[in-house]
């Protein structure tokens, strides 16, 4: 009998297939004691397992490239954390086996993260995955992860670790569903990059039996368990029509009446560039530079290494616009040489631009490298600072850019409500704004982007968030400057129309979403987008806002 469930749709498309469940987590190893003379040997086993797991994560990242590479390299650093390893060694010295020492040390660290505020609590799933991989290697059992199957399937898991999501084979994994996660979690971002339909934050997903046929609508968040033939035919027809529309839509982003809305790509490094070019991206709206800094948490990469990496991306978009975000470290991306180790809540502490202003040499080197990378290239380079709170922040960043001799536009990201509220003030110092809707939602609603329990507050359709977007866009228009969106909100085709109606001047997203957004914009006039935006803002919830905009754009 057909049953309908609803989670949070995070990656467009429809997948229909049999359910396969993620492999179970590693069992807790026995708490047996070892003789003192075996401690050194066990410590050696623990170190070998940790290094092997770290190497495997880095290798997976190299294969995946781009955003996935940065995430997996961060996990490798987590595995090799010196304090964690010191705790493992202490436990083995007093009689634990290697596997039990690892298990207990990670459990202790897990408890610290879980109690350190919602932002760090979101790292628990990544930590559990690292622990499971190390313990599995020590026990000599198969790694937990994606099931083996010769036939395509829909994957269901409590949550998906980045190491699993990064290397999903779209030819086999038709789509996936998770019980945890949110619209801006690592898994959601990587799913969009892969172009795999996905639904997250679906309570009880794990109770769907292995082998059951389900249909996953990654746009609406609906799951149809054992769909009736009529429903399957409806979904398949809808998917086919959408595919045809995507194929027919080419060229620059624009509304049906010719209002231009440049569609740009979010990239994490050179590995993401080919997909962006293939999707017809008109440039890069968010070049995350963190991937370069995750190789070594104790020191920044050399100027030469940075120049080489930046130039590869800049060369791919001759005559195009490339917006680079300087290093955004801190919170869930700590770097030993840059971020404090003892902050009670790093998400509200020294992160982003604050870290760079505390370490001007790191910022100066990055800005100089960007200047050298762009030299002689016909590219429109723009550089922006993350986590700008006020005009003083914006001025400090612009001054640093000028001191480095950077021939580019300087901008500020709007990720903190204060920046949206005082956007006109900030625009006295910089030339453009870029809205990071992921963090802006997180700070507006005090809702961690990695915690499934508060995912409704991370929904970019929340009217309060739309109000802040509108305020920023209106401020930019009044100052004769641009205001783009580079957060995950831009990847939603319907919301992209609403953002356009709010006055946003460009949209940046994962490459896989560009054809969907281009097609949606091409169906509607700017006036329709403006009416949809007004209707969405007039509501009191994300669900009502979405329905109101849909009604306007569908002519209801």
Catalytic residue positions, numbered: 186, 486
Residues 64, 67: Cα–Cα separation, whole Å: 8
Burial label for 3, CB within 10 Å (0-12, 13-18, 19+), is exposed
Range list of β-strands (E), 179-293: 198-200, 213-217, 222-225, 263-267, 283-288
The CA distance from 422 to 416, in Å, is 10
What are the CA-CA distances from residue 477 to residues 281, 366, 480, 484 (Å)?
24, 30, 5, 11
Element (H, E) at 90: helix 82-93
3-state secondary structure of 185: coil
Structure tokens at 392: 């003083």
Cα dist. 191→68, 141, 173, 365, 387 in Å? 10, 28, 11, 33, 26
Distance CA 140, CA 95 (A): 21
Residues in the chain: 556
Q: How far is CA 270 from the centre of its chain?
A: 17
Between CA 491 and CA 184 the distance in angstroms is: 11
* Pairing status of strand 482-485 against strand 222-225: unpaired
Bridge partner list, 225? 3, 214
CB 93 within 8 A of CB 44: no
Using an 8 Å Cβ cutoff, are 24 and 198 in contact?
Answer: no
At 209, give phi and psi (nearest 5°).
Answer: -65, 145
Helix (H, G, I), strand (E, B) or coil at 480: coil
DSSP symbol at 300: P
Alpha-carbon torsion (96, 99, 105, 107), positive or negative: negative
Q: Which of 262-265's residues contact partners 24+ apart within 8 Å by CB, and which partners?
A: 262/321, 262/505, 262/506, 262/507, 263/506, 263/507, 263/508, 263/509, 263/514, 263/517, 263/518, 264/321, 264/323, 264/484, 264/486, 264/506, 264/507, 264/508, 264/509, 265/508, 265/509, 265/510, 265/511, 265/514
Between the two ends of the chain, the Cα-to-Cα distance in Å is: 32
Distance of CA 198 to the CA centre of its chain: 14
């Amino acid at each position: 009998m057909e049953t309908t469930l609803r989670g949070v749709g995070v990656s467009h498309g429809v997948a229909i297939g049999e359910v396969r469940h993620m492999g179970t987590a590693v069992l807790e190893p026995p708490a047996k004691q070892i003789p003192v003379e075996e401690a050194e040997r066990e410590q050696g086993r623990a170190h070998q397992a940790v290094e092997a797991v770290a190497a495997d994560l880095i290798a997976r990242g190299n294969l995946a490239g781009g955003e996935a590479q940065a995430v997996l390299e961060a996990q490798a650093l987590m595995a090799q954390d010196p304090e964690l390893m010191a705790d493992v060694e202490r436990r083995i010295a007093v009689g634990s086996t290697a596997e039990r020492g690892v298990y207990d040390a990670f459990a202790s660290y897990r408890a610290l993260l879980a109690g350190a505020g919602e932002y760090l609590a979101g790292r628990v799933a990544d930590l559990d995955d690292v622990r499971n991989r190390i313990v599995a290697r020590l026990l000599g059992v198969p790694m937990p992860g994606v099931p083996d199957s010769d036939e395509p399937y829909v994957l269901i898991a409590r949550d998906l670790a980045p190491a699993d999501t990064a290397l999903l084979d779209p030819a086999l994994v038709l789509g996936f569903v998770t019980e945890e996660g949110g619209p801006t979690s690592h898994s959601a971002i990587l799913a969009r990059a892969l172009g795999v339909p996905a639904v997250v934050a679906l309570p009880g997903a794990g109770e769907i039996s292995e082998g059951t046929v389900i249909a996953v609508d990654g746009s609406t968040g609906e799951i149809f368990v054992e769909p009736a033939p009529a429903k399957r035919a409806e979904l398949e027809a809808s998917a086919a029509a959408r595919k045809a529309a995507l194929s027919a839509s080419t060229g620059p982003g624009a509304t049906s009446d010719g209002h231009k809305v440049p569609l740009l790509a979010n990239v994490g490094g050179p590995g993401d560039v080919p997909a962006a070019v293939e999707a017809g991206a008109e440039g890069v709206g968010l070049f995350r530079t963190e991937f370069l800094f995750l190789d070594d948490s104790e020191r920044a990469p050399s100027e030469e290494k940075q120049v080489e990496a930046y130039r590869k991306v800049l060369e791919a978009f001759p005559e195009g616009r490339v917006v680079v975000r300087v290093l955004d470290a801190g919170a869930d991306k700590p770097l030993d040489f840059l971020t404090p180790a003892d902050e009670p809540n790093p998400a509200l502490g020294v992160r982003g631009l604050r870290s760079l202003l505390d370490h001007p040499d790191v910022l100066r080197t990055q800005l100089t490298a960007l200047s050298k990378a762009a030299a002689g290239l016909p590219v429109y380079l723009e550089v922006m600072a993350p986590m700008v709170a006020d005009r003083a922040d914006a001025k400090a960043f612009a001054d640093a850019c000028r001191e480095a001799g950077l021939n580019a536009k300087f901008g500020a990201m709007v990720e903190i409500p204060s920046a949206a509220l005082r956007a006109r003030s900030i625009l006295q110092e910089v030339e453009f704004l870029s809205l990071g809707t992921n963090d802006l939602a997180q700070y507006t609603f005090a809702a961690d982007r990695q915690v499934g329990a508060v995912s409704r507050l991370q929904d970019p359709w929340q009217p309060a968030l739309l109000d802040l977007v509108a305020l920023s866009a209106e401020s930019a228009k009044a100052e004769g400057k641009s205001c783009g969106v580079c957060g995950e909100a831009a990847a939603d085709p319907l919301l992209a129309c609403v953002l356009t109606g709010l006055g946003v001047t460009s949209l940046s997203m994962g490459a896989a979403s560009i054809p969907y957004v281009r097609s949606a914009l091409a169906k509607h006039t700017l006036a329709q987008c403006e009416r949809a935006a007004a209707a969405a803002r007039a509501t009191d919830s994300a669900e009502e806002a979405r329905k109101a905009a849909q009604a306007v754009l569908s002519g209801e």
